[in-house]
Amino acid sequence: MTGIPFPDISPEIFSVTIFGLHFALRWYALAYIVGIVIGWRIAVAALKRPHLWAGGVPPMTPAQLEALLTWIILGIIAGGRLGYVLFYRPGYYLETWWEIPAIWQGGMSFHGGFLGVTTAILVFCWREKAPLGGVADAIALASPPAILLGRIANFINAELWGRPTTLPWGVIFPGEAAQDCPGAVDACARHPSQLYEAGLEGLLLGTLLILLAFRWGALRRRWLLTGVFLAGYGIARFLVEFVRQPDAQFVSPGNPLGLAVHWNGWGLTMGQLLTLPILLAGALLILWARRRTRAVPA
């Protein structure tokens, strides 16, 4: 196969060793930090424009958003890590449970992080008596930057790559596992599925949400932006799964496509299976928001 050589980028930006202990700042961690900060500023910009919201009243103040942000960060980390452990590698972590907190090694699940963030939002709205739909819309608007940068960090880490391909933009990822391609004579090129997701779930979906919020009045219909985010993410993830390398525990001689559920040669990967409820919820929220909520004029 021919392909593009993987760029010589270290997963670590810099590292130091103090008293025999190794400390490093990784692109993976920085991506989430920067992504959350960018998303926070986008949400603050929307909250400072009352005319964008239903009834001309934002669902919370910028100060309340800062308080919520702390809980969201905890939800992303705890939910994302536990989701990865439970959904993708339960057997491995049952035997090596002490590695569960080692998030710096990689291994986060969007679906788990989504559940963690949802829990944080529910608790916040209950305590602050804030409108759940409006708060959810603000967080949906803020989410794509972290997804965009997180997927780019996955690429830098040379993880979560795609299936083998002969397309000219296939990337030759390093490592024994990435080069284990049946039938490959020389180097094995794979789909850069991390970059596909960065473009679809991060850049494209984020641009659409910003236009909907700031130009097309979507925030005046509570839950509409949340629905678009969930449906957009669900569609993008479902499609990318067709070219994404399945997790090793789902691959076997009788199941080379790594399908989590399959029948008569057809089936769904674990990523597609977990994404279907998100996609369905997004579609239902869009329909509900358009039919039940009348947009309030600016």
DSSP 8-class letter at 218:
G
CA distance 149 to 153: 6
Higher pLDDT, 127 or 263: 127
Cα–Cα nearest to 161, from 175, 148, 147: 175
* Residue among 185, 182, 177 nearest 158 (CA): 177
- Determine, yes or no, domain membership for 207: yes
- Euclidean distance between CA atoms 293 and 152, whole angstroms: 37
Residue 176: partners with Cβ closer than 8 Å, 6 or more residues away: none
What's at 290, amino acid-wise?
R
pLDDT value, residue 244? 95
* Per-residue model confidence (pLDDT) at position 99: 81
At 136 the pLDDT is 97
Q: Which of 262, 191, 204, 193 is nearest to 233 (CA)?
A: 204
**Half-sphere exposure (Cβ direction) of 30: Cα atoms closer than 13 Å:** 12
DSSP tag of 55: G
Q: How far apart are CA 36 and CA 28, in angstroms?
A: 13
Mean pLDDT of the chain: 89
| Number of compact structural domains in the chain | 1
Q: What is the pLDDT of residue 264?
A: 66
In a domain, 202, yes or no: yes
**What range does the domain containing 182 cover?**
4-292
The more confidently predicted of residues 243 and 250 is 243
Is 151 annotated as a binding-site member? yes
Q: Does the structure show a pLDDT above 90 at 107? A: no
CA distance 64 to 130: 10
Percent of the chain with pLDDT over 90: 59
pLDDT at 66 over 80: yes
More confident residue, 37 or 95: 37
* Residue 161: CB atoms within 10 Å: 26
Q: Is the pLDDT of residue 29 over 90?
A: no
Residue 236 in domain: yes
Does residue 297 fall inside a structural domain?
no
Task: Reply yes or no on whether the pLDDT at 111 is more than 70.
Answer: yes
* pLDDT of residue 1 exceeding 60: no
Q: Which of 15-19, 188-192, 262-266 tops mean pLDDT?
A: 188-192
Burial profile 177-189: b = 16 or more Cβ within 10 angstroms, e = fewer: ebbebeeeeebbb
Question: pLDDT tens, 162-180?
Answer: 999 999 999 999 999 899 8
Instruction: Specify if 76 maps to a domain.
Output: yes
Contact 259, 12 (CB under 8 A): no
Q: Is 221 exposed, middle or buried (0-12, 13-18, 19+ CB in 10 A)?
A: buried
Sign of the C-alpha dihedral computed for residues 158, 162, 166 and 169 taken in this order: negative
Query: What per-residue confidence (pLDDT) applies to 298?
Result: 41
- Give 101's DSSP letter: T
pLDDT at 294: 56
Any idea which of 49-53, 191-195, 292-296 has the lowest mean pLDDT? 292-296
The predicted pLDDT at position 104 comes to 62
> Which of residues 9 and 296 earns the better pLDDT score?
9
pLDDT at 296: 47
Per-residue b or e along 113-130, where b marks 16 or more CB atoms closer than 10 Å to that residue's CB: bbbbbebbbeebbeeeeb
Separation CA 111–CA 135 (nearest Å): 19
Question: What pLDDT digit, counting tens, does each position of 213-226 carry?
Answer: 999 999 999 999 99
Q: Which two tokens stand for residue 278?
A: 């998100």
pLDDT digits (tens, 9 = 90+) for 118-162: 999 999 999 999 999 999 999 999 999 999 999 999 999 999 999
What's at 118, amino acid-wise? T
Instruction: Report the predicted TM-score, pTM, of the whole model to 2 decimal places.
Output: 0.88
Contact 217, 52 (CB under 8 A): yes
User: Bridge partners of 190?
Assistant: 164, 171
CA trace torsion 95, 99, 100, 103 (10° rounding): -150
- pLDDT at residue 88, rounded to an integer: 79
